[in-house]
Structures are given as C-alpha cells and as structure tokens.
Amino acid sequence: MPQLTQPVHERDHIAGPNDAPVTLVEYGDFECPHCGEAYPILKSIQAHLGDQLRFVYRHFPLTQSHPHAQMAAEAAEAASEQGKFWEMHSLLFENQDRFSLDTFVELAARLGIDPDWFQQALEDGRFAGRVIADFNTGVRSGVNGTPTFFINGERYDGIWNEDDTLLQALETAAERSIR
C-alpha cells in the first residue's frame, strides 16, 4: 500500500484538531471535475465526523488537462496569506465552471482581499513555488491523479463517491487509532 511520504506539518492547510484520531489528506486539483464531485462529499464527512477528523488539502494541479488548475491553486495560496484559504477553497470548487484570472480576482474581492494585491500576486506567480512543493510531495507519494486520498498516511484506493465507503473507511481508521 503506497504511503504518504511527507507527513502532515504546520505548512499544510489543516481543518480539524491535530489530535484527531483520523487524518485524511487529499491531493486535489481545483479544476478537476472529480475533485468537484468529491468536495460536497468531503464537506459532509467533515460535518459527520467533527473533531474525529483532521482534513488536509494539498495541491496537485493537473496542468496538462486543466489549464487553470495552477492559477487556481495559487489563488488559494494567495487567499491563505490573508487567512482565507478554506473560504477560497470552497469558492473555487463552487465556481469551477468559470475559471479565469478575472473570476479569481472577483472571488478574492468577495472575501475582502484587496483585488489589486491579489491580481498582482497571481500575475507575478508569487505562490507558484508553494503549489509546486505540494505537487512534488504528491509525486513522491505515488499520486498520479486527482483526487487522491491518504487515511492516516496510507493511500486509500477505495470508492469515495458512493455508499459512504470513504466515510466507513475513515470511521474504521478512527476506531483503530483509538484502541
């Protein structure tokens, strides 16, 4: 079973308590339709598991297939610098069908981020290195598509989009780690 080579650390985007019994890491692409399908499922799982889950999002833009994926990831990083990563994360998945620089700037303004600063940051590629670093950790962990999930450091290759299979795997992992 492939393992997560880069442990979760303070640089990651983390939702949930650090001492949660189960950690779910997603390598995702904001322009990927499958990641867009996973987004509401993951929100539901987070709500269901509450403090039992630590959710980590890492960038894995598939730029060959998704021409706006890199910039979308950089937009999330620019928002993160302003303390708004998770808000931008949601807005990006909710607006997947209209990606462009103008859309990213509009979303930033909606979050109260200075649109001029934001646009300049994207045009300068100020956050490209951060996105590439995430991508490289994914490659080292055997990620080759999105979304790819790791549960407590082990790659999850099961079904995630039907019958609560991912939720069941997370609940089982939480039970194992509590024992």
pLDDT tens digits along 59-94: 999 999 999 999 999 999 999 999 999 999 999 999
In order of start, what are the domains of the chain with their CATH numbers? 13-178 (3.40.30.10)
Helical H runs in the chain?
A: 33-49, 69-81, 85-94, 101-110, 115-124, 128-140, 165-178
- pLDDT < 50: residue spans in the chain: none
Burial class (CB in 10 A: 0-12, 13-18, 19+), 152: middle
Pair type for strands 22-28 and 13-15: unpaired
What is the distance between the alpha carbons of residues 19 and 149, in angstroms, rounded to a whole number?
Answer: 19
Chain-centroid distance of CA 26 in Å reads 5
**pLDDT for the residue 179:** 72
pTM for the whole thing? 0.97
What is the distance between the alpha carbons of residues 37 and 130, in angstroms, rounded to a whole number?
Answer: 25
